Amino acid sequence: MKIESDFLIIGSGVAGLMFALKVAEAGTVALVTKKRAAESNTNYAQGGIASVFDHLDSYEAHMEDTFNSGSGLCDPNVVEMVVKDGPARIRELIRLGVQFNTKSSPEHIALNEETLDLGREGGHSWNRIVHAQDMTGEAVECALLEQIQKNDRITVYENHLAIDLITCSTRVKRGLVTTTHEDHCCGAYVFDRSGRIVKTFCSKITLLATGGAGKVYLYTSNPDIATGDGIAMGYRAGTTVANLEFVQFHPTCLYHPDAKNFLISEAVRGEGGRLIDAQGKSFMEKYDPLKDLACRDVVARAIDTELKKSGKEFVLLDISHKGETFIKNRFPNLYRKALQFGFDMTKEPLPVVPAAHYMCGGVATDMEGRSDIRYLYVVGEAACTGLHGANRLASNSLLEALVYSHKASAAAIEDLKNYQFKCPEISPWDEMSTTDSDEQIMVSHNWDEIRRLMWNYVGIVRSDKRLERAKRRIEIILKEINEYYWDFKITADLIELRNLATVADLIIRCAMHRKESRGLHYNIGYPEKNDSLWKKDTILRRPFIG
């Protein structure tokens, strides 16, 4: 089955949805999402969107905070572009119906200040977090989906999981040698979960907005869909990927056997929450002058150190001193959710542990979201834009997604206007010589093993020996998966396992290459940052075969 459109979007988070709304003005849009359209990392984002609105704040201060967090690897041009475009993108969301929290006291009105209520999170020097209570991602996602549903030029394909990008070859002559290079993206092969068939989506412009890869780790704040699909597909197609050693571990996920993926927002510490040990003593002052408002990499490593010293399985996050009224008004969702697990955060501290949260690396793009394969754009967590460097500043993720979907949509519309490439006839998906699997245990076993080896060997604190062990094992797993993939009919679990293994391998390779500690990458054999040798991006590209 072939489906044709001007634009193909893979992923339904804020980046994909905003891009879809903008490019629909210029052509037809097919939006593919692996589960329900609302199931995305965006929907789980509690904290908010960082942007400069307070008259005492400044673009320069936001940029400086971003640079400090990124530990020397942020692209200054990208940081300036994203920070300065932020307020316009927030206003755009407001026009689309997002209900952000606002100030209500008369003195703010009399002073004619901006009416947005601005929170503060770790690493920020000023209050600049625009939020919708503690459910910002959900508020943005719902508003954008409502607009998507009204647009008859956008067709949403739920329960459709992309398998691989389709690239078309051009012949390139270098001297006396003519080579073939796959440099035009023409769409993707997509698995329809409902019909259990593979469809061919043909498009002039393709966007990867598939989110991150948190499920590569045993403990993560991410939903089950976060299996690194876009990064893996991009790499297999030949794109450059970068900086995948920089995996952000959120310091505070609720510790409870039934609290799967439940993140305790950084905004809790921003509003005065303190990390304490089992004896009720605060400990962050031992690790950073900013104490509980230090950047995430510092806080996550501090908690990891405290747990190793004490032998405990969690530390505690206490905001009960702020009072019941404040907590219920500022964190209504967190309060209700914690209560479901037997914790009353107005009266007691919450047990928390770090968990894999955000990929700072991804498919390398330019300042308009272009990859190095023509007509393939990548935005959101699947991309490496140069904004985050070695560590993402809190609440810069939704900001990046909004700004880059805006920039990428404008560039993609121009590409469509000037589109002259004639893509050859695309062959349908071929399942000949494959059979239904009678060995599903291979999928479930390798899924579990990948996540455990990544947590144990490629986690918050790393070493050369651990990384070498991980590399040896992932090479065996990749070989097993590849043999299985070509012998048996495709399934959703197999597609995700293949992507998970690919991303795990890329993370390990990037981590092995960087012989220093910087930002989110901490190697006990090289505990110091080395600007003279390693103040640069880690670049990987699949070797060309042709």
CATH code of the domain covering residue 486: 1.20.58.100
Query: Which residues, including other chains, have CB under 8 Å from residue 111's CB and lie 6 or more apart?
Result: none
**Is position 463 within any domain?**
yes
Handedness of CA 9, 230, 196, 199 (dihedral sign): positive
Ramachandran angles phi, psi of 328, nearest 5°: -65, -35
Share of residues in the chain with pLDDT > 90 (%): 71
Please tell me the predicted confidence (pLDDT) of residue 66: 97
Please tell me the predicted confidence (pLDDT) of residue 153: 97
pLDDT in tens, 92-104: 999 999 989 888 6
**Is position 510 within any domain?**
yes
pLDDT in tens, 450-498: 999 999 899 999 999 999 999 999 999 999 999 888 888 889 999 999 9
CB neighbours of residue 465 within 10 Å: 11
**Is position 229 within any domain?**
no
Q: Which member of 296, 370, 462, 514 is catalytic?
A: 296
d(CA 292, CA 518): 20
d(CA 331, CA 346): 10
Please tell me the predicted confidence (pLDDT) of residue 114: 57
**Is position 49 within any domain?**
no
The model carries a pTM of 0.89
Catalytic residue list contains 296:
yes
Contact (Cβ atoms closer than 8 angstroms) between residue 393 and residue 381: no
d(CA 124, CA 265): 15
Among residues 326, 355, 384, the one where a domain terminates is 355
Please tell me the predicted confidence (pLDDT) of residue 46: 62
**Is position 299 within any domain?**
yes
**Is position 134 within any domain?**
no
Query: Which residues, including other chains, have CB under 8 Å from residue 379's CB and lie 6 or more apart?
Result: 15, 16, 19, 207, 208, 209, 365, 369, 401, 404, 405, 408
Among residues 309, 330, 355, the one where a domain terminates is 355
As a whole number, the mean pLDDT across the chain is 90
CATH code where residue 322 lies: 3.90.700.10
Please tell me the predicted confidence (pLDDT) of residue 39: 62
Strand order in the sheet with 49-50: 49-50, 129-130, 118-119
Which parts of the chain have pLDDT scores under 70? 37-47, 104-114, 169-182, 424, 438-439, 543-546
Among residues 323, 355, 387, the one where a domain terminates is 355
**Is position 165 within any domain?**
no
The one-letter amino acid code at 48 reads: G
**Is position 514 within any domain?**
yes
Q: What range does the domain containing 318 cover? A: 253-355
Please tell me the predicted confidence (pLDDT) of residue 534: 97
d(CA 108, CA 120): 18
The one-letter amino acid code at 165 reads: L
Tally of structural domains, the chain: 2
pLDDT in tens, 141-183: 999 999 999 999 999 999 999 999 999 865 444 444 444 455 7
